[in-house]
Amino acid sequence: MSAESKEIVPTQRRADELQHEIEVIRDDLAGMVGELDRRRHELLDIRRNAVPLIAIGAALLAVATGGIALAVARRRRRARLGPRLDRLRQAVERMIDKPSRVANTPGVGRKIVGAGGAAAASVLAKHLAKRLVAERRAARAG
């Protein structure tokens, strides 16, 4: 046997071993996916699990409703005159304590980001305008 054929045989044998391992793994995965699908069908079988599914749905609905009710109550409480005046008093106290923080000027980083964002928005708007004009011309011509 030549040196090339000696190298090909182990390589082919290794390829066959890898192919066999892949097939075994694929069969295992197929079995797992089948089992998961069976369990999903069993879990979501409405006839067998109606009471737990309804209870879970009701609990989720109650949590969502409670969250909305709390948010509405908090908003109403904050909108009353007393809490509004309290927040105004706190803001004035902060303004007196640290007047340098009242009218902060943006730092260099924020200025750079703002300029970059404005430039990107300008380029995007220009591109979209050109595209819109081209589409309108094509619609009129066609």
Residues 81, 87 contacting (CB under 8 angstroms): no
The pLDDT mean for the chain works out to: 87
For the full predicted model, state whether its pTM sits above 0.75.
Answer: no
Same domain, 56 and 126: no
Domain coverage including residue 77: 3-106
Same domain, 98 and 129: no
What pLDDT was estimated at residue 6? 57
What pLDDT was estimated at residue 40? 87
pLDDT at 8 over 70: no
Same domain, 120 and 86: no
Same domain, 77 and 57: yes
Q: pLDDT by residue (tens digit) across 80-128?
A: 999 999 999 998 998 898 887 777 777 888 899 999 999 999 999 998 8
Same domain, 51 and 119: no
Query: Degrees (nearest 5) of the Cα angle 84, 86, 92?
Result: 105
The pair phi, psi for residue 61, each rounded to 5°, is -65, -40
How many structural domains are present in the chain?
2
Query: Residue type for 8, please?
Result: I
